[in-house]
Amino acid sequence: MTHATAPERHSAVHDTVLGAIGNTPIVRLNRVTEDVDAEVYAKLEFTNPAGSVKDRIGFWLIEDAERRGVLRPGGLVVEGTGGNTGIGLAMAAAVKGYQCVCTVPDKMSEGKIKTLRAFGAEVVVTPTVPPEDSRNYCNEARRIAAREPNAVYIDQYNNLANREYHYLHTGPEIARQLPDVDVLVAGLGTGGTLCGTGKFLKEHRPGLRVIGVDPVGSILYDAYKHGRRVPPAPYLIEGIGKDCVPANIDFDLIDDVVQVADRESFAMTRRILKQEGIFAGVSSGSVTVGALRWIVEGDSDLAGKKVLVIFPDSGSRYVSKVYDDEWMSANGLLDDEPNGGVARS
Ligand code: PMP
C-alpha cells in the first residue's frame, strides 16, 4: 500500500495518487507583505493531488478506521465536511474501493459540491444550522453512518488522528524545508493543521509561536481569548471557524488567535493573485490578513523573522465567488481600496 507515510513519497513515481500527497512547496510572499519587516512564506497546500491540505488527512483517517477495525473492504465512509475533507476522503475512497457519502452545509461553494460528485461521492446538502439543530451537517453524517452497515463516521473534528497526521508528517516536512521558521500561522477549522504541525515545530524549535486565525462570526476567537461562548453569526469565508470547539484544537499550544473579517479576507485573496501570482482560496487570504495583523500589532520585534502561513486550497474552488465581481458586489465585498487593505482591528 502506498500512502503519504511511505518512503516512496519522496520519489517521483508513486504506486497510487495517494503517494503524491505532501511535500508541498513553500513560496516567499513579496508584495502583499511590503509593510512588514518580517519575512512571510506561504506553504501551498493546493498542490496536493486533489487540491487541498485535506488530502493529507483524507487517506489518513480512512487508514485510521481500517486500523481500528471499524471499516472493512467495500465499506462506506461518511463525513460532514465543508468540501475539502470530503474531496480528500473521496480520492482515497476511490483508490481503496470504498463508497463515500458527504454531508455539506448549503453555504459551501457549488464548485466543491460538483467536485465531490465528480469523485463519485454522494453529496447530501444540509441547511447551515448550529450543532444543536438535528439538521446540522455533522448530525446528519452521524445518522447516515449509524443506519448503514459497514459504515464509519470519520469525524475530522473530534478524531485526534487528524492532528496526529500533521504532528507526524506536516511538521517534520516544514522543519526540513524551513528549519529556522519562527512563527506558524494557520486558520482554525478542525484545528488539526495548526495544532498538529505547531506541536511538532515547537519541539523542533523552542520559542516558535503558533498563531490561529478565526473569522468574525465563529466562536473560537472568544473561546480562546476570553473563555466565553459568544453566539455564532454567519460569515462567508469557507473552511475556517466553528460554532463549537473541536477536540483537535489544543488552546494550550496556541500562543494567540487573530480575528479576521469577510471583506478584508476576500480582498486579500484577490490581491494575492494580482501581486504574488498565487491562485489561492479565501481562507488563504484570511490567514495572510491575520498574519500581517499579528505582526503589525503584536508586541514582538519580528524584523528578519520567518513567518510561515498555510494556504489550504486553491482559487479554482471559488471562481464563482471571490473571482466573480457580480457575486462580490452582491455580497457587499467589493473593496473601495482596489488593492485590498489590511485593516487594523
Ligand atoms: N481552509 C480551508 C479552505 C479548509 O477547507 C480547512 C479545513 N476545514 C481549513 C482552512 C482549516 O484546516 P483545519 O481543519 O486543519 O483546521
pLDDT digits (tens, 9 = 90+) for 159-177: 999 999 999 999 999 999 9
Within 8 A by CB and 6+ apart from 269, the residues are 280, 281, 282, 284, 285, 315, 318, 322
Mean pLDDT of the chain, nearest integer: 93
Dist. CA 52 → ligand 1 center (Å): 9
Dist. CA 83 → ligand 1 center (Å): 10
> Could you tell me where in the chain the CATH 3.40.50.1100 domains are found?
17-47+170-331, 53-153
Dist. CA 113 → ligand 1 center (Å): 16
Residue closest to 293 by CA, chosen among 309, 276, 304: 309
Are 239 and 84 within 8 A, CB to CB? yes
Dist. CA 312 → ligand 1 center (Å): 6
Q: What percent of the chain has a predicted confidence (pLDDT) above 90?
A: 87
C-alpha cell of 73? 473492504
Dist. CA 339 → ligand 1 center (Å): 25
Sign of CA dihedral 28, 31, 32, 38: positive
Q: Is 315 in the pocket of ligand 1 (CB under 6 A)?
A: no
Q: Whose CA is nearest to atom 11 of ligand 1?
A: 189
Q: Whose CA is nearest to atom 4 of ligand 1?
A: 239
The pick from 84, 112, 167, 318 for probing ligand 1's pocket by mutation, whose C-beta has the most ligand atoms within 8 angstroms, reads: 84
For the stretch 31-67, pLDDT in tens is: 999 999 999 999 999 999 999 999 999 999 999 999 9
Within 8 A by CB and 6+ apart from 84, the residues are 51, 52, 53, 54, 112, 239, 312, 313, 317
Q: What percent of the chain has a predicted confidence (pLDDT) above 70?
A: 94
pLDDT for residue 329: 96
Residue closest to 115 by CA, chosen among 142, 94, 96, 134: 94
Neighbours of 65 (CB within 10 A): 21
For the stretch 251-274, pLDDT in tens is: 999 999 999 999 999 999 999 999
The CATH label, of 3.40.50.2300, 3.40.50.300, 3.50.50.60, 3.40.50.1100, for the domain at 17-47+170-331 is: 3.40.50.1100
The pick from 43, 45, 48, 53 for probing ligand 1's pocket by mutation, whose C-beta has the most ligand atoms within 8 angstroms, reads: 53
**For the whole model, what pTM was predicted?**
0.93
Q: Whose CA is nearest to atom 12 of ligand 1?
A: 189
Q: How confident is the model at residue 11 (pLDDT cuts 50, 70, 90)?
A: low
User: Does ipTM come in above 0.95?
Assistant: yes
Catalytic residues: 54
Beta strands in 39-165 (DSSP E): 39-44, 76-80, 99-105, 122-126, 151-153
**What average pLDDT score do residues 96-118 get?**
92
Domain 53-153, CATH 3.40.50.670 — does that match? no
Q: Is 33 in the pocket of ligand 1 (CB under 6 A)?
A: no
pLDDT for residue 335: 65
pLDDT for residue 141: 97
